[in-house]
Amino acid sequence: MGDHSGYRTGAERVEVLERILGENERVARANRAAFDAAGVTVVNLMSAPGAGKTTLLAETLRRLAPHRRIGVIEGDIETSLDADRLAGFGASIALVNTGNGFGGECHLDAPMIASALPRLPLAELDLVIIENVGNLVCPAEFAVGEDRRAMVFAVTEGEEKPLKYPVMFRSADLVLVNKTDLLPHLDFDTEAFRRNLDAVHPGVDVLAISARTGMGVNAWCDWLADPLGAPGAAPTR
């Protein structure tokens, strides 16, 4: 059965987790103080891999960057592929590869965000968008100092996802339902998805979009531009 002598007990694991989360909260507060001092609004954008975050961000920067000063913290385990896709739209971009000194984590935490701040001209920005690592679990568990959270959900993922991954759906201030241009080709049950979402996060703002065609992206940009995140910024269901 192998040698398990090096395994921690349940109590030890809880203690280690509490230390990690406690340190993360401390750094998140420091990040928040830095953002507040610079007068910057920060949005943490989360999703599963392949939901369309980067495509949405490219379209967002195309529309917003000429009018607002935007920074992007781009999180990936490896490569600069997504950061490279966002170059040239007028945003300041800081890449965080979690495989470089952060253990290859499947999320961004507060210390990782803190490592990116010296590479952003915070005092010259109005808005910072954090593109978190693609994962439906871990990113929702770590505060990073953000003002608000949005998640991108693709209709190709299936209507049961809010029930299977409730923590992320529950933590979002806005759920962007992406790839709606594919609905005629899918068996996605929109009403079942809405019921499942309401079961885990009643009343959350929902916005139907297609990052590929641009449908709904202006409403998303309006939500980003509203520093209070008023519910009316996103259309009701």
Query: Is 83 part of any domain?
Result: yes
Give CA separation, 63 vs 93, 147, 148, 214, in Å. 17, 22, 20, 10
- In this prediction, residue 58 carries a pLDDT of 98
The residue with greater pLDDT, 150 or 8, is: 150
Q: Which domain holds residue 175?
A: 10-230
Number of separate domains in the chain: 1
pLDDT digits (tens, 9 = 90+) for 160-194: 999 999 999 999 999 999 999 999 999 999 999 99
Query: Is 4 part of any domain?
Result: no
Which CATH number covers residue 169?
3.40.50.300
Query: Is 3 part of any domain?
Result: no
Q: Tell me if the pTM is above 0.85.
A: yes
pLDDT digits (tens, 9 = 90+) for 197-222: 999 999 999 999 999 999 999 999 99
Under the banding of pLDDT at 50, 70 and 90, the label for residue 228 is low
- In this prediction, residue 4 carries a pLDDT of 40
- In this prediction, residue 12 carries a pLDDT of 76
Under the banding of pLDDT at 50, 70 and 90, the label for residue 21 is confident
pLDDT digits (tens, 9 = 90+) for 48-59: 999 999 999 999
Query: Is 1 part of any domain?
Result: no
Residue 205 pairs in a beta bridge with: 174
